[in-house]
C-alpha cells in the first residue's frame, strides 16, 4: 500500500513522498485569536490532527506547525470592546483555544509561532520582496505586485482578468492594481504597531504564514493545510509571496477540508448560525465530536445538526462500549493474555486492519476506515459472547483497536477513573439489593447514579459502571 493524497494544486490524487524519507514538514493555518473557537474552526483542527496521527503511525516524524495570529484588526476591535490590550485579548483566547483542542482529543502542535514574536522575520521577508520588485510602498502601506508574479491564481484556478471583476477587493487608490494585496499596514493613531523601514505599522494577514513557514520549515514544505475558504485569497497569496522570493514551490501538497453547514445552510457570521466548541463540549464527548467530523470525507461538506450529533453520539458510544467490554473481560481473566490468539480471530483481525489502512491510504478516507472499526466492534461482541474465547483473543482485539484508535482517537486514552466513595457505596448497595431480589431498590439506585452521571451496565462478566 502507498499513501495517496488529493493535491489541490493538481486537482488529483498523488503518491505522497516527503522530501526527506521518514520526515514530514506540515503547516496548517491557525486561529486569529480574538474569540472562542466555533464548530467550523474545529473541522480543520480535527482533520489535520488525524492526518498527522496517520503519518506518524506509518513511521514518519512529523514537524507540525500551526500559527497564532495575535494581532490584526479583529484583535484591535476586541481589545477596545473589552477595554484591554491586544496582547491580553490574545492570551485569553489562546488559553481558550488550548483548552478546546485538548477537549477535542487533539495533540498540541510541534510549535505555535505567533505573529508578534515573528515581526523581524516578516519585515525582512517584505524587504526582500521589495528588493526583487514584487512589493511597493505607498503612504506607509506596502503592497504585493500581483501582475509581476506570472503564476498568480494557479492554486485557486483564477486569473487576473477574472479577479478584476470577481473578487471583493477594497478600492484603494494607493494600489497599482485592484488585486494587489497588502503586506504591511501603516498604523492608525493609537493602534498597536512596530517600527519598520516604511514607518510604524503591522503586517497584513497573508505575509505572516509565508514568513513563519519559511523560518521554521524551510523554503518548501511537504503539506500545507487549511479550510477550503483559505484557498483564495490566503493560500494563493502565500504561494505568490514565497515563490516569488525563493523560486521554489511553497508546498508540494496542498490539502483543504470542506465547509461545515448548519442545518443545510453555510455557516456564517451574517446568518448568526455559528456554534461555539466550548458549548458543544458541554453536551458531547470528544469521541462524539471527532466521530461526527471524521464520518464524512474531509473534502466533502458536512452538515451540523442536532440529529447528526445525536447519531454520532450513539455510534461513538457503541465503539467505546465494545472497547471497554473487551478490556473488562481481559482484566477478569486471571490467566492473563499469554499465548497465541486463535487462528480465526487472527484472520479476521488481519482483514480488518488491512482494510483500515487501505482506506486511510486512499486520501484519508475516514468514513470507510470507520466502517473497519465497526467490523472490529462486531468481531469483539461476537468474541465476548463466545464462552470458549481465549484471553489472547481479547488481547489481540485490543491491540488492533489501539492501532486504529491512535489515528482516529474515537475513544479517550486515559486511565480508568475512580468512582468516588458515594458512587462506590451506591454500587455496593445495588449489588446487595439485586442479590436479595429487591428489584425496586435496585432500579432506584440505578436512577440515582444516572442523575450523578454514572451509567451502570450488567454484563455477562458482572456489573460495570462508566461516566456519561
Give the 3-state secondary structure of the chain.
CCCEEEECCCCEEEECCCCECCEEEEEECCCECCCCCEHHHHHHHHHHHHHHHHHHHCCCEEEEEECEECCCHHHHHHHHHHCCCHHHHHHHHHHHHHHHHHHCCCCCCCECCEHHHCHHHHHHHHHHHHHCCCEEEECCEEEECHHHCCCCCCCCCCCHHHHHHHCCCCCCCCCCCCCCEEEEEECCCCCCCECCCCCCEEECHHHHHHHHHHHHHCCCEEEEEEEHHHHHHHHHHHHHHHHHHHCCCCEEEEEEECCEEECCEECCCCCCCCCEHHHHHHHCCHHHHHHHHHCCCCCCCEEECHHHHHHHHHHHHHHHHHHHHHHHHHHHCCCCCCCCCCHHHHHHHHHHHHHHHHHHCECCCHHHHHHHHHHHHHHHHHHHHCCCCCHHHHHHHHHHHHHHHHHHCCCCCCCCCCCCHHHHHHHHHHHHHHHCCCHHHHHHHHHHHHHCCEEEEEECCEEEEEEC
32 pLDDT band (50/70/90 cuts)? Answer: very high
198-208 tens-digit pLDDT: 999 999 999 99
354-394 tens-digit pLDDT: 999 999 999 999 999 999 999 999 999 999 999 888 889 99
123-169 tens-digit pLDDT: 999 999 999 999 999 999 999 999 999 999 999 998 766 655 444 44
pTM: predicted TM-score of the whole model, two decimal places:
0.86
80 has a pLDDT exceeding 90: yes
Amino acid at each position: 500500500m502507498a499513501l495517496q493524497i488529493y493535491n489541490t494544486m493538481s486537482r488529483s490524487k498523488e503518491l505522497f513522498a516527503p522530501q526527506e524519507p521518514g520526515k514530514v514538514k506540515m503547516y496548517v493555518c491557525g486561529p486569529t485569536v480574538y474569540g472562542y473557537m466555533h464548530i467550523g474552526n474545529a473541522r480543520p483542527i480535527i482533520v489535520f490532527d488525524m492526518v498527522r496521527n496517520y503519518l506518524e503511525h506509518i513511521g514518519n516524524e512529523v514537524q507540525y506547525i500551526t500559527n497564532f495570529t495575535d494581532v490584526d484588526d479583529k484583535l484591535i476591535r476586541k481589545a477596545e470592546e473589552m477595554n484591554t490590550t491586544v496582547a491580553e485579548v490574545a492570551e485569553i483566547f489562546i488559553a481558550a483555544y488550548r483548552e478546546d483542542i485538548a477537549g477535542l482529543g487533539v495533540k498540541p502542535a510541534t510549535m505555535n509561532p505567533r505573529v508578534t514574536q515573528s515581526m523581524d522575520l516578516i519585515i525582512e521577508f517584505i524587504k526582500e520582496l521589495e528588493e526583487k520588485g514584487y512589493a511597493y510602498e505607498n503612504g506607509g502601506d506596502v503592497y504585493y505586485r500581483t501582475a509581476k508574479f506570472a503564476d498568480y491564481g494557479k492554486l485557486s484556478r483564477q486569473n487576473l482578468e477574472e479577479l478584476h471583476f470577481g473578487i471583493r477587493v477594497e478600492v484603494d487608490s494607493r494600489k497599482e492594481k485592484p488585486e494587489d494585496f497588502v503586506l504591511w499596514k501603516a498604523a492608525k493613531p493609537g493602534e498597536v504597531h512596530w517600527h519598520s523601514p516604511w514607518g510604524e505599522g503591522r503586517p497584513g494577514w497573508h505575509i505572516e504564514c509565508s514568513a513563519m513557514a519559511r523560518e521554521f520549515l524551510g523554503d518548501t514544505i511537504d503539506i500545507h493545510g487549511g479550510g477550503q475558504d483559505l484557498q483564495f485569497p490566503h493560500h494563493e497569496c502565500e504561494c505568490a509571496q514565497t515563490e516569488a522570493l525563493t523560486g521554489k514551490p511553497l508546498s508540494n501538497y496542498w490539502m483543504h477540508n470542506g465547509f461545515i453547514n448548519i442545518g443545510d445552510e453555510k455557516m456564517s457570521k451574517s446568518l448568526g448560525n455559528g456554534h461555539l466548541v466550548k458549548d458543544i463540549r458541554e453536551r458531547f464527548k470528544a469521541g462524539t465530536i471527532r466521530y461526527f467530523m471524521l464520518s464524512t470525507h474531509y473534502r466533502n461538506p458536512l452538515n451540523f445538526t442536532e440529529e447528526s450529533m445525536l447519531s454520532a453520539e450513539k455510534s461513538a458510544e457503541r465503539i467505546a462500549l465494545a472497547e471497554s467490554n473487551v478490556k473488562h473481560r481481559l482484566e477478569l481473566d486471571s490467566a492473563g493474555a499469554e499465548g497465541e490468539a486463535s487462528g480465526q480471530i487472527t484472520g479476521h483481525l488481519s482483514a480488518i486492519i488491512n482494510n483500515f489502512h487501505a482506506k486511510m491510504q486512499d486520501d484519508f478516507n475516514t468514513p470507510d476506515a470507520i466502517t473497519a472499526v465497526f467490523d472490529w466492534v462486531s468481531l469483539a461482541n461476537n468474541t465476548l459472547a463466545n464462552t470458549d474465547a481465549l484471553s489472547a483473543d481479547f488481547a489481540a482485539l485490543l491491540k488492533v483497536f489501539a492501532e486504529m484508535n491512535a489515528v482516529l482517537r474515537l475513544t479517550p486514552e486515559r486511565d480508568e477513573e475512580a468512582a468516588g466513595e458515594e458512587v462506590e457505596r451506591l454500587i455496593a448497595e445495588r449489588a446487595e439489593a439485586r442479590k436479595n431480589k429487591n428489584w425496586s431498590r435496585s432500579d432506584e439506585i440505578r436512577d440515582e447514579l444516572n442523575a450523578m452521571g454514572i451509567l451502570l451496565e450488567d454484563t455477562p462478566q458482572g456489573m460495570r459502571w462508566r461516566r456519561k
